[in-house]
Amino acid sequence: MTELLLGTRKGLFVLEGEPGGPFEVRARAFAGEPVEYAMRDRRSGRVLASVTSPFYGPKVWHTDDPAGDWEQASGIALPEGGEAALERIWVLAAGEADGSIYAGGDPGVLFESRDGGHSFELNRGLWEHPSRPRWQPGGGGLCLHSISTWPGHPERLAVAISAAGVWLSDDGGASWRNGNEGLVARYLPDDAPSDQIALCVHRLHRAPTRPERMFMQFHGGVYRSDDAGKSWQNIAEGLPSDFGFPLAIDPADPDSAYVIPLTADTDRVTPDCRVRVYETRDAGASWSARGGGLPQEHAYLTILREAFDWTGEGERLGLYFGATSGDVFGSADAGRSWSTLATRLPPVLSVAAS
């Protein structure tokens, strides 16, 4: 059984189904409220959700049963009396240490829980980084949207912020350095300083079997790093567009990545009126379209950065994504064939599969 936790503009939807078969809505929670992201911690079985009430502000909630009662996590707030307020929690991710859960949000902030999501603390190293006054928000705000852990090494972390680039830590988040070498921002002047950090990363993932390898969807460009995020090379040649938001990988294959291109930053819909996922199995040297079963005419979909996830690996890799149209698609065979799992949901903000 595969479970999909869908964060939508109007609540959390829990879908269940067998890979390759039909899926059904098993539960809905936080009806009417924007749910940015939800995840099930595979270690504890607990589900966490970030909910941004337009009235009462961003909160993180947890439960053992998404159809039951939820409890609010404590500590999801910026220091009181400052000049900033927390706008949103964009993403939640399990850490490597026991009970560790990370939460990333706007304005470019990282929280960590050490008790499985009951309570969180602000990461001071990133919050107080000397370069913070120069950080600029992207269109969606100053969002920390990607958190990449390093298997077996809880002290090694990479996070990505739109539009403040990639940040790397080797000491569990006590200190941070940027990892932006090789990224080219077409929205900056050619003579912008080389230490420019106004870099609009859209999504970041690490290959778990070769952790120094990372893939990135950028605001104009798809990149690969072979040195743990220190430097990047563009691998977008062969794609119909180098603009897009989400990214997925096959955890068994460090040469694999999947992207869902959009036409351009000025036209954020799937190119050529059809929906296609692009796959590389040679670390970005070439890309192949995977569209069997996806809408191939009059389809103008937008897939957001957190709305693409996977389960399993290799031949049994399951891929799942949702669109702002409220459609959800899945593949049980590593992208070779696809089916529609849900339609007419609220705009899908995030997908987490388990």
Partner 1 sequence: MAIVRLRGPLKRLAGERSEHAVEGATVIELMRALESEHPAADGWILDERGAIRRHINVFVNGELGGADTAVAADDRVDVLPAISGG
Binding site for partner 1 (CB under 8 A): 9, 54-57, 72, 77-86
Instruction: Please give the sequence-ordered ranges of beta strands (E in DSSP) within 9-108, or none if there are none.
Output: 11-17, 23-29, 35-40, 47-53, 57-63, 71-72, 88-94, 101-106
- Which tokens hold the place of 204? 């970041």
Please identify, using beta-carbon distances, which residue of 34 and 330 lies nearer to partner 1.
34
Q: What 3 state SS string does 22-37 have?
A: CEEEEEEECCCCCEEE
Please identify, using beta-carbon distances, which residue of 9 and 336 lies nearer to partner 1.
9
> Closest approach of Cβ 9 to partner 1, in Å?
8
d(CA 75, CA 78) in angstroms, rounded, equals 8
> Closest approach of Cβ 346 to partner 1, in Å?
11
Please identify, using beta-carbon distances, which residue of 78 and 264 lies nearer to partner 1.
78
> Closest approach of Cβ 109 to partner 1, in Å?
11
Please identify, using beta-carbon distances, which residue of 57 and 154 lies nearer to partner 1.
57
Sheet holding 121-122, edge to edge: 88-94, 101-106, 109-113, 121-122
Nearest to 91 by CA among 309, 322, 341, 262: 309
> Closest approach of Cβ 105 to partner 1, in Å?
13
Burial class (CB in 10 A: 0-12, 13-18, 19+), 263: middle
Sheet holding 201-206, edge to edge: 201-206, 214-218, 221-225, 233-234
Q: Which helix (H) or strand (E) holds 125?
A: helix 124-127
**Torsion, CA 349, CA 270, CA 289, CA 217, rounded to 10:** -50
Please identify, using beta-carbon distances, which residue of 111 and 287 lies nearer to partner 1.
111
d(CA 294, CA 314) in angstroms, rounded, equals 21
- Which tokens hold the place of 138? 């992207």
Please identify, using beta-carbon distances, which residue of 72 and 175 lies nearer to partner 1.
72
d(CA 309, CA 4) in angstroms, rounded, equals 9
Please identify, using beta-carbon distances, which residue of 74 and 131 lies nearer to partner 1.
74
Please identify, using beta-carbon distances, which residue of 42 and 344 lies nearer to partner 1.
344
Please identify, using beta-carbon distances, which residue of 82 and 189 lies nearer to partner 1.
82
- Which tokens hold the place of 133? 């006054």
> Which of 130-133's residues contact partners 24+ apart within 8 Å by CB, and which partners?
131/178, 131/197, 132/108
Please identify, using beta-carbon distances, which residue of 30 and 258 lies nearer to partner 1.
30
Name residues whose C-beta falls within 8 Å of residue 352's C-beta, 6 or more positions apart in sequence: 4, 5, 7, 37, 38, 39, 40, 309
d(CA 153, CA 208) in angstroms, rounded, equals 11
